[in-house]
């Protein structure tokens, strides 16, 4: 089960809240697979993707506001996740009757959450915390 | 969360940064592979995870326990980690069974022996339990090392170039067996290798590391192979052909004809990379193609050489004329390629297999 421990907090409320909601989605998707609630799983994945996209937009706006020097790189990283999100949507459509799709989806959702969303955001944690404290 | 989490790890030797703000996760039951050239910092990361190298900045978490951060350093022997390295490091004076039992000192003799035999059975070495390491082949020693490392039920398993001491045939067999055992034991595994094929075979997720101590790309093996983020990553996974093309009206213009390229910037010259299996040779030009196959008429080429590699051949050719005239390429074709029976040959590019990068 995924959860946000203090080590994974960015210390920016909006971003951490998004991460928590994405973690909740990940756990719900995993539980739906475990409980063989495949229709529920197929319903959750598009919502998970939609929230991820909104999160990326919010994050980019915030980084833009504080002139984060690595913003182009981070935008590129987000853009590069389109294929992975498409893959998860495709897998979600196949969970009903395909064991490999279920296993792959479970793995991809978790790696996406941890590596592509949360761990990547660690890159700008220090910058953002410093920038916000100067603002105060 | 079960597994290994390395968060914002930074490490330097003197003034030289070898790891630059690295964060990643290895969930329980998954195998993550760090792939990169010598000196990119991948072994340092492994040593930091193990506790053999003291963490300078960031944190290391195993199964929700912080084992290293600014104030904490849990010593390696208390982290419950299994290791397997290139040299199997078996004790030469102990039998196979005693080697595997060695790490089970917290258990009583009977349960330790039962667990050791269970692991030897898993790796197919139970019948060799009474033998000594010098009586075993390299592959067998590797299996014993695997059994020994997994016997104490580690919460994290670390592999550092574990198969590089084995010959080619043995290597593929042992790594397949190792992967099966790791999956059966549901352990989070971090592996370091410089061998892309090994990474692709073993990993659920590959992290490609660059010389700057950063992770260049993360993804499932197929993601990285089919969508390399840059030329460096593309080259890392095998031979590449390269040519330049001009972007006009959403198409790449080259000796190989017009190829759809929506993502390229109009009016620029781009570098096109394509793997040998993404090109085809035929003895007809493509002017009558119906669009179902590779686009464009293809380039008229001269065959330079053909090498049979078993079930395929590697054929080298040179483009006769056009923008890429004189450039040499290689293509992989199924079966053997008969150099004596050929007339004019055209080479074509499969647009689904090209990678475009701006000219540096």
- Give the range among A88-92, B112-116, B333-337 with minimum mean pLDDT: B333-337
- Residue A135: inside a domain, yes or no? no
Residue A121 has a CB neighbour count (10 Å cut-off) of 23
A–B CB contacts, 8 A cutoff, strictly below: 54
Check if the beta carbon of residue A63 is closer than 8 Å to that of residue A56.
no
Neighboring chain B residues of A120 at a CB cutoff of 8 Å: 23
- Give the range among B152-156, B167-171, B205-209 with minimum mean pLDDT: B167-171
Count the residues in chain A: 136
Residue pLDDT, tens place only, B7-60: 999 999 988 889 988 999 999 999 999 999 888 899 999 999 999 999 999 999
Reported as type and span, the H/E element at residue B242 is: strand B241-248
Strand order in the sheet with B279-282: B279-282, B345-349, B299-308, B312-319, B328-334
At B286, the pLDDT band (50, 70, 90 cuts) reads: low
Query: Which residue ranges in chain A fall short of pLDDT 50?
Result: none
What is the structure's pLDDT at B290? 40
Neighboring chain A residues of B24 at a CB cutoff of 8 Å: 114-115, 119
The DSSP code for B73 is B
Q: Could you tell me which chain B residue has the CA closest to the CA of A2?
A: B1
Domains of chain B: 3-236 (3.40.50.300), 241-358 (2.40.50.100)
- Residue A39: inside a domain, yes or no? yes
Residue B5 Cα, gap to closest chain A Cα (Å): 9
ipTM over 0.85: no
- Residue A61: inside a domain, yes or no? yes
What is the structure's pLDDT at B340? 74
Neighboring chain B residues of A111 at a CB cutoff of 8 Å: 25, 27, 30, 204-205, 218
Inter-chain residue contact B21 with A108, CB threshold 8 Å: no
Mean pLDDT of B323-328: 90
Residue B212 Cα, gap to closest chain A Cα (Å): 15
What is the structure's pLDDT at A71? 92
Residue with tokens 């199964």: B63
Sign of CA pseudo-dihedral B174, B158, B193, A106: positive
pLDDT at B287 over 60: no
What is the structure's pLDDT at B285? 67
At B76, the pLDDT band (50, 70, 90 cuts) reads: very high
The token pair that represents B11 in the structure block = 């490490």
Q: Beta strand B156-160 with B188-193: parallel, antiparallel or unpaired?
A: parallel
Closest CA to B143 of B127, B28, B153, B206: B127
What is the rounded CA–CA span in Å between residue B11 and residue B48? 9
Q: Which residue in A3, A83, A115 is closest to B25 by CB distance?
A: A115
Neighboring chain A residues of B30 at a CB cutoff of 8 Å: 107, 111
Q: Could you tell me which chain B residue has the CA closest to the CA of A104?
A: B204
- Residue A37: inside a domain, yes or no? yes
What is the structure's pLDDT at B322? 85
- Residue A105: inside a domain, yes or no? yes
- Residue A134: inside a domain, yes or no? no
Instruction: Indicate the burial class of B236 (C-beta count within 10 angstroms; 0-12, 13-18, 19 or more).
Output: buried
Inter-chain residue contact B8 with A110, CB threshold 8 Å: no
What is the rounded CA–CA span in Å between residue B190 and residue B202? 10
What is the rounded CA–CA span in Å between residue B278 and residue B303? 17
Residue B2 Cα, gap to closest chain A Cα (Å): 8
pLDDT at B358 over 60: yes
Q: Could you tell me which chain B residue has the CA closest to the CA of A113?
A: B25
Q: What is the mean pLDDT of chain B?
A: 88
Q: Which residues, in sequence order, are CB contacts of B304 under 8 Å at separation 6+?
A: B316, B317, B318, B328
- Tally of domains in chain A: 1
The DSSP code for B292 is S
At B5, the pLDDT band (50, 70, 90 cuts) reads: very high
Inter-chain residue contact B61 with A120, CB threshold 8 Å: no
pTM: 0.86
At B352, the pLDDT band (50, 70, 90 cuts) reads: confident
What is the structure's pLDDT at B288? 42
Neighboring chain B residues of A84 at a CB cutoff of 8 Å: 219, 223
Backbone angles phi, psi at B52, to 5 degrees: -80, -20
What is the rounded CA–CA span in Å between residue B10 and residue B18? 8
- Residue A131: inside a domain, yes or no? no
What is the structure's pLDDT at B268? 86
Q: Which residue in B24, B61, B227 is closest to A115 by CB distance?
A: B24
Chain A positions contacting chain B at CB under 8 Å are 1-3, 5, 7-8, 80, 83-84, 107-108, 110-111, 114-116, 118-120, 122-123, 125-126
At B101, the pLDDT band (50, 70, 90 cuts) reads: very high
What is the structure's pLDDT at B297? 65
What is the structure's pLDDT at B296? 54
Q: Which residues, in sequence order, are CB contacts of B206 under 8 Å at separation 6+?
A: B32, B33, B35, B199, B200, B217, B218, B219, B220, B221, B224
Instruction: Indicate the burial class of A34 (C-beta count within 10 angstroms; 0-12, 13-18, 19 or more).
Output: exposed
Residue A43 Cα, gap to closest chain B Cα (Å): 24
Task: Provide the CATH number for the domain around residue A42.
Answer: 1.20.120.50
What is the rounded CA–CA span in Å between residue B280 and residue B101? 56
% of chain B with per-residue pLDDT over 70: 95
Vertex B77, ends B74 and B82: CA angle to 5°?
115
Residue pLDDT, tens place only, B224-281: 998 898 899 999 988 899 999 989 888 888 888 888 877 777 888 899 999 998 999 9
Q: Beta strand B354-358 with B269-274: parallel, antiparallel or unpaired?
A: antiparallel
**Range of A37's domain?**
8-126
Mean pLDDT of B62-84: 92
Mean pLDDT of B292-297: 48
What is the structure's pLDDT at B249? 86
- Give the range among B1-5, B26-30, B62-66 with minimum mean pLDDT: B1-5
């Amino acid at each position: 089960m995924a959860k946000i421990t203090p080590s994974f907090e960015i210390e920016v409320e909006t971003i951490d809240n998004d991460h928590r909601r994405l973690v909740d989605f990940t756990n719900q998707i995993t539980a739906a697979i475990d409980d063989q609630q495949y229709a529920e799983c197929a319903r959750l994945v598009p919502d998970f993707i939609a929230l991820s996209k909104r999160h990326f937009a919010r994050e980019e706006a915030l980084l833009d506001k504080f002139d984060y020097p690595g913003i182009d790189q981070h935008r590129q990283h987000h853009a590069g996740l389109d294929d992975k999100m498409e893959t998860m949507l495709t897998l979600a459509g196949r969970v009903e009757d395909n064991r490999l799709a279920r296993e792959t989806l479970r793995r991809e959702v978790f790696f996406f959450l941890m590596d592509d969303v949360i761990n990547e955001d660690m890159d700008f944690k220090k910058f953002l915390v410093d920038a916000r404290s100067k603002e105060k | 969360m079960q597994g290994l989490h390395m968060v914002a790890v930074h490490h330097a030797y003197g003034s030289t940064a070898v790891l630059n703000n690295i964060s990643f996760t290895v969930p329980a039951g998954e195998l993550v592979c760090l792939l990169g050239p010598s000196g990119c910092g991948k072994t340092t990361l492994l040593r930091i995870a193990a506790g053999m190298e003291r963490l300078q900045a960031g944190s290391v978490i195993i199964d929700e326990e912080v084992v290293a951060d600014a104030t904490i350093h849990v010593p390696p022997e208390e982290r419950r980690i299994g290791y397997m390295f290139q040299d199997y490091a078996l004790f030469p004076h102990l039998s196979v069974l005693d080697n595997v039992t060695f790490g089970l000192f917290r258990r009583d003799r009977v349960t330790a022996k039962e667990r050791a035999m269970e692991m030897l059975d898993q790796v197919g070495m139970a019948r060799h339990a009474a033998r000594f390491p010098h009586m075993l082949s390299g592959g067998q020693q590797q299996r014993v090392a695997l059994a020994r490392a997994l016997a104490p039920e580690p919460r994290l398993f670390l592999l550092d170039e574990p198969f590089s001491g084995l010959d080619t045939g043995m290597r593929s067999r042992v790594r397949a067996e190792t992967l099966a055992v790791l999956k059966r034991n549901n352990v989070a595994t971090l592996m370091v290798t410089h061998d892309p094929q090994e990474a692709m075979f073993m990993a659920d997720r590959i992290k490609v590391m660059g010389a700057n101590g950063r992770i260049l790309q993360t993804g499932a093996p197929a993601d990285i192979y089919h969508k390399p983020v840059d030329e460096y990553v593309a080259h890392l996974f095998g031979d590449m052909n390269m040519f330049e093309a001009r972007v006009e009206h959403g198409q790449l213009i080259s000796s190989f004809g017009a190829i759809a390229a929506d993502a390229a910037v109009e009016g620029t010259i781009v570098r096109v990379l394509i793997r040998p299996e993404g090109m085809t040779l035929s003895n007809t030009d493509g002017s009558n193609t119906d669009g179902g196959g590779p686009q464009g008429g293809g380039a008229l080429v001269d065959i330079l050489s053909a090498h049979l590699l078993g079930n395929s051949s590697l054929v080298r050719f040179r483009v006769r004329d056009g923008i890429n005239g004189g450039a040499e390429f290689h293509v992989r074709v199924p079966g053997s390629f008969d150099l004596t029976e050929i007339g004019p040959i055209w080479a074509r590019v499969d647009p689904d297999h090209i990678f475009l990068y701006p000219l540096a």
